[in-house]
Structure 1
Amino acid sequence: MIPHDEDHIPTFDDAALEREWQAQESAMRRERLQLDPAGDDAHSRRYRLIARSLRQPLTESLPADFAQQLAARVGAIPSPAASASASFEFKLMLVLAATMAVAAIAVIAIYGSAWLPSFAALAPNPQAPATHWLLALAGCVGASWLLGLWQQRTHRHQR
């Protein structure tokens, strides 16, 4: 085992990364030796807190109010920067979806006459008995879906 005083210092291409690594290592060493944190700066105190947390054993179970804490985090109002970023990502996704739809329509218009008859041959014959059963199945699935939506809406209004 290598003593902690002789830790290998990796080479860094960026001086800022090296300073950050040195600050982390110094804080971890000071925490390990239990030196007085009075002279530490804010970064060192945070790194020492992380080092202290990592050295403590995990708790046996979740806290009693874990669900409430998690719900509060999830339900927290996002910052304006986060909502602006999400809005931008949503707009970008819409542009991508529209581009994909236009490309699909263009491909169908250009090459559809060559491969569309093959798909038409796969469709069931409208006069076959199986077609009536497929329509009945689709009707049952649709009715179940609509009934589920109706139940959710009435249950939501009763609260």
Structure 2
Amino acid sequence: MNIGNRNGHDKALLDEREWQAQENALRDERLGIGASGDDPLVAGYRTVARALREAPEVALPADFARDVARAAVAQGSSAHIDARLEQILLRLLVVALVLSGTAALAFYGNQALLAIDARLTTWGLALATCMALTWAFDWLRRIRHDGDPLHPA
């Protein structure tokens, strides 16, 4: 059997058969019609329809809500400790970054300032170019689509 060579028509027929089997199973379950002589495909979908229709019995312990609340409080307090530790570590990281930057600036002196100045000029020019292109393309879009470049829609 060559399943890979099905054309769209055969697939549509199979999908329609599946759909009809699902609908028949739902109808039969809703009406309480017996399963005598059922198509195996319909019988399979009847099992699914029955499982979806009947909620499973759930027997929660009497103190379930109290246990969940206790677990939530315990998790909240541990999350608070984690948040405080994270804040402390973040502050230490910022202090280390500032100290290392200050030490590098003191060690390299004027060379560092000249390099920073050159980088800022280069990046500033790149930023200005990006902003100008963004504004220009937005202006052209407004002219093309809205007809009024000065009053955006």
Q: Give the TM-score taking structure 1 as reference length.
A: 0.28
Query: Which is higher, the Rg of structure 1 or of structure 2?
Result: 2
